[in-house]
């Protein structure tokens, strides 16, 4: 089996019906820089020394002051290999499970996705099912690019006799749907801004992996990469919430794993066609939320 940290898709976000914001962490934490007095300069008075030492300590804790966090060479090498791998992808199939703990509520999302980049067109198919500990299960939702007109997406829930067809541009995350296109940039930013620790080789769900920890803004993200392909096969970390939406301020602990994946599978047009006999009606992206939450409950 295979497992990974794959970002939730737009369809999954709609299925969860939760609006949680995250804070981007781009700062750097500087190490303490002990000043050295030049031999040809007069010695500072004790009070002046204390004041300067306090300023230096404050600078060391200020993410806006320059200074690199320590990075293991092995961790840098793993990220470089992962960048090369993800930049070379043109298509992928991933079967994953994600768990998110917000407060005391656990949400689990099982998802299968197929992504194909064909020239300037990105075809995507997602099958997603979400459940919570209180038994609030959302049935299997299916969304895919319309093979006959890739400017549109088609959505339906398993068991429906009717599907909704809407403009893909209405999905604000559509341009990010091919997540592997942005992974290289994300890994590169870690090598610039974050502390990197190579934890070691570990077996994760049948994969032989490289485990690295990424420290940024006082938070740690753990990533596991398949040693054969350098696919990200597991991740653990915290998502900081801004206080918007029902979840409120705080943090969400997330774990994402890939159960199975295939690198660069052949394009299958049948994945992007509605089932035979299903009626497809014109609608909007908002119609999906209305169908999933007909009572308008938060």
Q: How high is the mean pLDDT of the chain? A: 77
Q: pLDDT band for position 25 (50/70/90)?
A: very low
What pLDDT is attached to residue 203?
Answer: 93
Instruction: Give the largest CA-CA distance in the chain.
Output: 89
Whether residue 291 has pLDDT greater than 70: yes
d(CA 191, CA 174): 27
Instruction: Give the tens place of pLDDT for each residue, 215-224.
Output: 988 889 999 9
Mean pLDDT of 44-70: 51
Strand partners, 143: 126, 155
Closest CA to 89 of 271, 270, 269, 262: 262
Segment among 61-75, 128-142, 146-160 with least mean pLDDT:
61-75
Q: Which two tokens stand for residue 205?
A: 């769900």
CA 40 to chain centroid, in Å, comes to 54
Q: How far is CA 260 from CA 2, 4, 126, in A?
A: 4, 9, 15
Q: pLDDT band for position 68 (50/70/90)?
A: confident
What pLDDT is attached to residue 14?
Answer: 35
Instruction: Give the tens place of pLDDT for each residue, 204-260.
Output: 988 999 999 999 888 899 999 999 999 999 999 986 655 554 445 567 789 999 999
Q: What are the chain's domains? A: 71-292 (2.50.20.10)
What pLDDT is attached to residue 47?
Answer: 54
User: Which of 51-65, 70-84, 178-192 tops mean pLDDT?
Assistant: 70-84
What pLDDT is attached to residue 139?
Answer: 85
- Residue by residue, DSSP assigns 258-284 as EEEEEESPPP-GGGGSPPTT-EEEE--
Question: What percentage of the chain exceeds 90 in pLDDT?
Answer: 48
């Amino acid at each position: 089996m295979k497992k990974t940290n794959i970002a939730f898709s737009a369809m999954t976000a709609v299925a969860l019906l939760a609006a949680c914001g995250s804070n981007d962490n781009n700062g750097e934490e500087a190490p303490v820089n002990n000043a050295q007095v030049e031999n040809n300069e007069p010695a500072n008075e004790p009070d002046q020394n204390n004041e300067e030492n306090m300023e230096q300590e404050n600078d060391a804790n200020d993410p806006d002051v320059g200074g690199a966090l320590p990075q293991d060479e092995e961790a840098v090498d793993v990220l470089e290999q992962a960048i090369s791998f993800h930049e070379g992808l043109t298509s992928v199939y991933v079967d994953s499970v994600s768990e998110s703990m917000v407060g005391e509520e656990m949400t689990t999302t099982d998802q299968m996705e197929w992504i194909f980049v064909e020239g300037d067109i990105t075809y995507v198919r997602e099958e997603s099912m979400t459940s919570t500990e209180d038994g609030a299960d959302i049935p299997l939702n299916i969304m895919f690019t319309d093979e006959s007109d890739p400017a549109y997406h088609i959505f339906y829930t398993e068991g429906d006799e009717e599907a909704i067809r809407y403009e893909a541009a209405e999905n604000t995350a559509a341009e990010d749907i091919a997540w592997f296109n942005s992974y290289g940039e994300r890994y590169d930013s870690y090598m610039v801004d974050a502390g990197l620790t190579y934890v070691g080789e570990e077996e994760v769900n049948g994969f032989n992996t490289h485990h690295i920890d990424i420290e940024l803004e006082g938070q740690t993200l753990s990533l596991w990469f398949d040693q054969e392909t350098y696919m990200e096969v597991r991740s653990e970390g915290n998502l900081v919430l801004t206080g918007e939406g029902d979840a409120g301020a705080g943090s969400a602990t997330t774990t994402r794993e890939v159960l199975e994946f295939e690198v660069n599978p052949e394009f299958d047009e049948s994945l992007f066609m509605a089932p035979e006999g299903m009626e497809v009606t014109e609608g909007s992206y908002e119609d999906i939320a209305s169908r999933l939450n007909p009572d308008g409950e938060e």
